[in-house]
Amino acid sequence: MSKARIILRESAGEASGEVERELSFLERVWENGFVRKAALLLFLAVLWEVYGRWTNNPLLFPTLSETITALIGHIRDGSLPQRAYASIKVLLLGYGVGVIMAGALTIAAINTRLGSDFLETMTAMLSPLPAIALLPLALLWFGLGNGSLVFILIHSVLWPVALNTHSGFRAVSHTLRMVGRNYGLKGFGYIRKILIPAAFPSILAGLKIGWAFAWRTLVAAELVFGVSSGQGGLGWFIFENRNLLEIPSVFAGLLTVILIGLVVENLVFRTIERRTVLRWGLQS
């Protein structure tokens, strides 16, 4: 029997196959999600314009160009920005208070069993309850004013944010928890330095859901009663213009609601996402 040997291969000269090929310009453009979505939007816009012109009934279905004219008009005379500002002001107040309350509730829930039971029971009971259904009661308790709006906004934000944060905390891996305790971290330091960043994907998801709920709830509530301290929000703007049969303005109001939602989702939340969970590889 011969001994085991190692026989080296001569390197096989020039490599022949291509390893990498650049994509053509069109292929690269089409790879960009933004471009694809913009093309889709353009297509829908054309469809809208064509249908609007074909029905030729501005009272039921104004064309895109009429809507945009109305939109620009209302932005120029300052009415739309003012209404949007009024809405966003109330929204931020309700959202902020709701998020802070959710944080307090979740911290109580991870530290004590009773707190956890309380959170679970309350979210199970109250999260299926549409915030707008509380509006009649809120009006009774807090009157026709921002107080009622803030109350129902808190309701719409608190439960989804608390629920997501809590389940995020509970899903933090056992190893990471042990690492945190190994460093001697306890109490609030442990929550802030280990649990919150580790659970950030869930927390962010909760904040996004909370934002969407709050925005819808607010616009709906403003449709029911809009005027508070002499200045209504976007919902009231839509309602008012419908009563005046200014349908292009109604569409312009709806478009503004959509645009603000898109801006917050794509600029604010996407940026946070890119800088945190995507960068950390916690979400792909």
Partner 1 sequence: MAGTAVAAGAPLLDVNGVTLRYKTPGALVTATERVSFTVNRSDRFVLLGPSGCGKSTLLKAVGGYLAPSEGAITINGRRVSEPGPDRMMVFQEFDQLLPWKTVLENVTFPLIDARGFSRKEAEEKARHYIEKVNLTRVLDALPHTLSGGMKQRVAIARGMAMEPDILLMDEPFAALDALTRRTCQDELLQLWEETRFTVMFVTHSIAEAIRIGNRILLLSPHPGRVKAEVVDVDTASATDGSAGRLEKDIHDLLFAQTGEEAHG
Binding site for partner 1 (CB under 8 A): 173, 175-176, 178-179, 181-185, 189, 193-194, 197-198, 200, 276, 279-282
Per-residue tokens: 161: 């944010």
CB of 198 to partner 1, least distance (A): 8
Identify which of residues 118 and 190 has a Cβ nearer to partner 1 in the complex.
190
CB of 163 to partner 1, least distance (A): 23
What's the maximum distance between 2 C-alpha atoms anywhere in the chain? 102
Radius of gyration for the alpha carbons in the chain, expressed in angstroms and rounded: 27
CB of 272 to partner 1, least distance (A): 13
Identify which of residues 101 and 282 has a Cβ nearer to partner 1 in the complex.
282
DSSP three-state, residue 217: helix
Interatomic CA distance for residues 153 and 213, integer angstroms: 8
CB of 280 to partner 1, least distance (A): 5
CB of 269 to partner 1, least distance (A): 18
Q: What angle do CA 80, 86, 87 make, to 5 degrees?
A: 90
Identify which of residues 30 and 280 has a Cβ nearer to partner 1 in the complex.
280
CB of 37 to partner 1, least distance (A): 27
The H or E element that residue 201 is part of is helix 200-224
Identify which of residues 11 and 175 has a Cβ nearer to partner 1 in the complex.
175
Residues with Cβ within 8 Å of 223's Cβ and at least 6 positions away in sequence, in order, are 235, 236, 238, 239
Identify which of residues 53 and 193 has a Cβ nearer to partner 1 in the complex.
193
Amino acid at 212: A
Residue 7 backbone phi and psi in degrees, to 5: -105, 115
Identify which of residues 220 and 278 has a Cβ nearer to partner 1 in the complex.
278
283: alpha, beta or left? (left if phi > 0; alpha if psi -120 to 50):
beta
CB 194 within 8 A of CB 185: yes
